[in-house]
Amino acid sequence: MKWSFRIATVAGIEVRIHVTFLLILGVFALLFAHDGGLEAAVFGTLFFLALFLCVVLHEFGHAFAARVYGIRTPDITLYLIGGVARLERMPTSPWHELVIALAGPAVNVAIAGFLWIAVVRGYTFADLFDPRMDEDFWSGLLRINVFLVLFNMIPAFPMDGGRVVRALLATRLPYATATMIAARIGQVLAVAFVVASFTELASPMLLVIGMFVFMGAQQELNFARLRQSAQSVRVADAMLGRFEVLPDDIRVGELTPRLITSNQEVFVFADEDMLYRGLALRDELVQGIRQLPPEALAHPLSRNVPPIRPNTSMDEVLEMMQKSQEPCLPVVNGSGQVVGLVGVDQMQELARLAKRH
Ligand SMILES: [Zn+2]
């Protein structure tokens, strides 16, 4: 979530803007100014902000639908290419995923419908392709909402249409298989876009969309493969079993030699019986060394990251890591003793192995 700024919080959801989004706003304003001076620049900027609002509302459509199924959305971020509502977890039922995926475009259908009835009367479908309509603010906004619906319903990841295809397939097939088929459909479409961009259509936009869709599908495919191979692996078989433990009565002054002699990024605190007492990242300990006196106890620098059991499957771990945004989780046995660590490194290794399949 680097390079993004919070601009508002609505219904407990942070709305964030990524710098790339501000860049495109600047480019738009300059383009309009170049074409028609100050007035055009103001018009262009206002139009862009209205478009921005429509994209935000689209993302809120996803977020509110997710909330119906008990899934929280911590934030919505606007990037150069559009918005992303970050759901706390994936919906468990394909029907829920279907509703959540459709709720975004449904918002734009509603906006377009409202504009058509209330503001831009007598607008026909053919007018959508008439470039002269650009000059009018409201019909331009109507057009852009229709475009948002069509674009988002392209049946390919990372568009909503790709999720719709996956959800429909997942009502009959295992989730990972459904994802793989949906991702492959997306890639075939992406290639078709790229090929079409070299025909008479010759639209550079098609080329960009094609490449964007291809990469999105590849990412989703890799993630599905990772999840599938993660399902069959238990934490006990994947975890890091040899790791540095800090006693819970260690002083801040004693931390430095421990940090220097270890290359771990995460440290577990435990008492003399190895009972789990908390977890701290290297950076958090380094900060503590700077801020606290050497005789202070180091344990308060740790956080009580919820531990997991050795027999948990790795795809559950993946979900927990996404939910907690923790790079590493402690593994604790039945009596509460720390027996391992599992985190990003182990996931990357799994992903590397999954790609070979
Ligand atoms: Zn969407």
Q: What is the pLDDT of residues 260-310, one digit of tens each?
A: 888 888 899 988 888 988 889 888 989 888 888 888 888 888 888 888 888
Question: Domain boundaries in the chain?
Answer: 4-153, 166-231, 235-355
**Listed range (112-116, 326-330, 339-343, 345-349) with the worst mean pLDDT:** 345-349
Identify residues whose C-beta is under 5 A from ligand 1, the ion.
Answer: 104, 160
How far, in Å, from the CA of 83 to the mean position of ligand 1?
A: 7
Residue 357, pLDDT above cutoff 60: no
CB 156 within 8 A of CB 189: yes
Q: Please give the distance, rounded to the nearest whole angstrom, from the Cα atom of residue 125 to the centre of ligand 1.
A: 23
- Give 78 Cα–ligand 1 centroid separation in angstroms: 12
Cis peptide preceding 74, ω within 30 of 0: no
pLDDT score, position 316: 83
Distance CA 24, CA 80 (A): 7
Residue 168's pLDDT is what?
93
Highest mean pLDDT among 95-104, 132-141, 179-188: 95-104
Q: Is the pLDDT of residue 133 over 60?
A: no
- Mean pLDDT for 12-31 is 78
CATH 3.60.150.10 fits 235-355, yes or no: no
pLDDT digits (tens, 9 = 90+) for 201-244: 667 777 777 887 888 788 888 877 787 777 788 888 878 888 88
For ligand 1, the distance from its centroid to the CA atom of residue 217, given in whole angstroms, is 15
CA 2 to ligand 1 center in whole angstroms: 21
In this structure, what token pair is assigned to residue 10? 């609505």
- Looking at residue 135, its pLDDT comes to 63
DSSP 15-42: EEEEHHHHHHHHHHHHHHHHHHHHHHHH
Q: What pLDDT, on a 0 to 100 scale, did the predictor assign at position 141?
A: 83
pLDDT in tens, 170-187: 899 888 788 888 888 888
Q: What is the pLDDT of residue 126?
A: 67
High-pLDDT (> 90) share of the chain, %: 6
The pLDDT assigned to 132 comes to 59
How many angstroms separate the alpha carbon of residue 241 from the centre of ligand 1?
Answer: 41
More confident residue, 124 or 50: 50
What does 54-76 look like in DSSP terms, one character per residue?
HHHHHHHHHHHHHHHTT----EE
> Residue 129 above 70 pLDDT?
no
- What's the mean pLDDT in 69-74? 84
Q: What is the whole-number distance in angstroms between the Cα of residue 348 and the centre of ligand 1?
A: 28
Cα 82 to middle of ligand 1, angstroms: 9
Tell me, in angstroms, the distance from the centre of ligand 1 to residue 156's CA: 12
Ligand 1: centre distance to CA 84 (Å) = 7
Query: Measured in angstroms, how far is the CA atom of residue 62 from the centroid of ligand 1?
Result: 7
Q: Using the mean position of ligand 1's atoms as its centre, give its distance from the Cα of residue 61 in Å.
A: 8
pLDDT tens-digit map of 46-71 = 888 888 888 889 999 998 898 888 88
CA of 356 to the centre of ligand 1 (A): 31
Arithmetic mean of pLDDT over the chain: 82
SS3 assignment, position 77: strand
Per-residue pLDDT, averaged over 6-23, amounts to 81
Say which residues have a Cβ less than 8 Å from residue 339's Cβ, sequence separation at least 6: 239, 241, 310, 331, 332, 333
CA 107 to ligand 1 center in whole angstroms:
10
Cα–Cα distance, 162 to 159 (Å, whole number): 5
229 CA to middle of ligand 1, Å? 28
Ligand 1 centre distance from Cα of residue 245 (Å): 44
In this prediction, residue 134 carries a pLDDT of: 56
Cα separation, 325 vs 344, in Å, equals 11
